[in-house]
């Protein structure tokens, strides 16, 4: 029986060999937004994971849109040149097609890296003024962001457009707008973060206005033969927050405007919300958006085992599965999935000798009794 996970899929004008995606994962290791040797190592490893698509980490559209001083950026010529060197190596040696997630951190900007504590940067220690739809801090200990003014709407929208143009020029195969996890676009969508009383707040139409303006502006410059998608937090998991029903309606509107896929995550708009995590806990969001909005979806969140990923795709709950910490723990997860599910993946020729047909160690691994 053929594997659903290893069935090709076409989005826009691109065909992807299987349904495995490397999810964007912030590394907090750039220098003034510039990719460096760490990105070469990290992305080089994952570009040969067996996934058909690898989406680079949240990449800022302006310097104050970085989460931390170490965030990747694509807002300057230096950023573009540095990332171009990494991409050249990935294309030469990797097997995955490459996408990028472009983002603005909004009120969650000016923060420490996770290993430094993940809190707001202390005043006078490299911090900067964050911006958001309303002057509502991300957490009690965080400073209040400056509310968006008229010039901010144009500057940020233009920043997304300029970054999308740079991404197209670099030859990325797919582009994803980050509208999740409490960052800027999500904070406009969520009633928990957006208390504006003008045309960009209030009801659903007002709260979705700016994210849709950004999407439309990017859609205008992003090549139509390369997928353009949006990552959303399908639910805030909180009373009075953004809901799955609103996500379905939002996805329908995005589809009408030329969106090619929805990447369904959840949460992140505020601290202290308890999310009932369990294997595949966010898959129902992807399933509902796919079913009710009629748009391809990516499922994320504690997708760990190949048979679990196979079931998600085979049952039609999502079109693709996006893996993050799963592949940090097991960089060649796709190789194992192919063995277990009877799929085929592209091996870099330097590693082909480790393929099941050429290395008897696979049978020893699967029969541990031979080592007793």
- With 0-12 CB in 10 A as exposed, 13-18 as middle and 19+ as buried, what is 240? exposed
CA nearest to 22, candidates 100, 91, 86: 100
CA angle 79, 84, 86 (to 5 degrees): 105
Is the four-CA dihedral 213, 72, 101, 280 of positive or negative sign? negative
CA nearest to 48, candidates 365, 351, 360: 351
CA nearest to 172, candidates 261, 346, 54: 54
CA nearest to 366, candidates 343, 347, 339: 339
Residue 281 to residue 304: CA distance in whole angstroms: 12
Residue 195 to residue 7: CA distance in whole angstroms: 45
Residue 143 CA to chain centroid, in angstroms?
26
Active site annotation includes 200:
no
Length of the chain: 372
Quick one: which H or E segment has residue 58? strand 53-60
CA angle 345, 99, 32 (to 5 degrees): 130
β-strand pairing of 14-16 with 9-11 = antiparallel
Could you give the count of Cα atoms lying within 13 Å of 78 in the half-sphere of its Cβ? 9
Residue 233 to residue 245: CA distance in whole angstroms: 12
Of 93, 183, 281, 351, which one is the catalytic site residue?
A: 183
Residue 177 to residue 216: CA distance in whole angstroms: 11
CA nearest to 173, candidates 298, 15, 344: 15
Active site positions, annotated: 183
């Amino acid at each position: 029986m053929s594997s659903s996970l290893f069935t090709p899929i076409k989005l826009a004008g691109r065909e992807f060999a299987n349904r495995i995606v490397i999810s964007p994962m912030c590394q907090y290791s750039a220098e003034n937004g510039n990719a460096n040797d760490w990105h070469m190592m990290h992305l080089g490893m994952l570009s040969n994971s067996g996934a058909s698509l690898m989406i680079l980490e949240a990449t800022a559209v302006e310097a104050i849109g970085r989460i931390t001083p170490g965030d990747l950026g694509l807002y300057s010529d230096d950023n573009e040149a540095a990332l171009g060197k990494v991409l050249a190596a990935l294309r030469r040696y990797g097997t995955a097609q490459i996408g990028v997630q472009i983002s603005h951190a909004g009120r969650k900007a000016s923060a420490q890296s996770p290993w430094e504590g993940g809190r707001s940067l202390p005043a006078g220690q490299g911090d900067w003024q964050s911006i958001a739809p309303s002057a509502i801090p991300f957490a009690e200990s965080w400073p209040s962001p400056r509310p968006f003014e008229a010039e901010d709407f144009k500057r940020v929208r233009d920043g997304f457009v300029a970054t999308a143009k740079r991404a197209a020029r670099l030859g990325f195969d797919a582009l994803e707008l980050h509208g999740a996890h409490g960052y800027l676009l999500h904070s406009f969508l969520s009633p928990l973060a957006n208390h504006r009383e003008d045309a960009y707040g209030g009801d659903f139409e007002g709260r979705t206005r700016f994210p849709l303006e950004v999407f439309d502006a990017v859609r205008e410059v992003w090549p139509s033969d390369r997928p353009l998608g949006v990552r959303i937090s399908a639910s805030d998991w909180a009373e009075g927050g953004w809901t799955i029903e609103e996500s379905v309606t939002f996805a329908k509107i995005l589809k009408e405007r030329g969106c090619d896929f929805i990447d369904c995550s959840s949460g992140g708009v505020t601290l202290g919300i308890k999310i009932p995590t369990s294997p595949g806990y966010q898959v129902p969001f992807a399933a509902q958006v796919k079913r009710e909005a009629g748009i391809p979806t990516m499922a994320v969140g504690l997708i760990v085992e190949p048979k679990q990923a196979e079931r998600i795709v085979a049952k039609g709950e999502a079109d693709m599965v996006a893996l993050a910490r799963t592949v940090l723990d097991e960089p060649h997860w796709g190789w194992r999935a192919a063995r277990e599910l009877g799929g085929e993946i592209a091996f870099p020729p330097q590693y082909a000798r480790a393929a099941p047909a050429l290395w008897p160690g696979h049978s020893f691994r699967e029969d541990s009794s031979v080592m007793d």
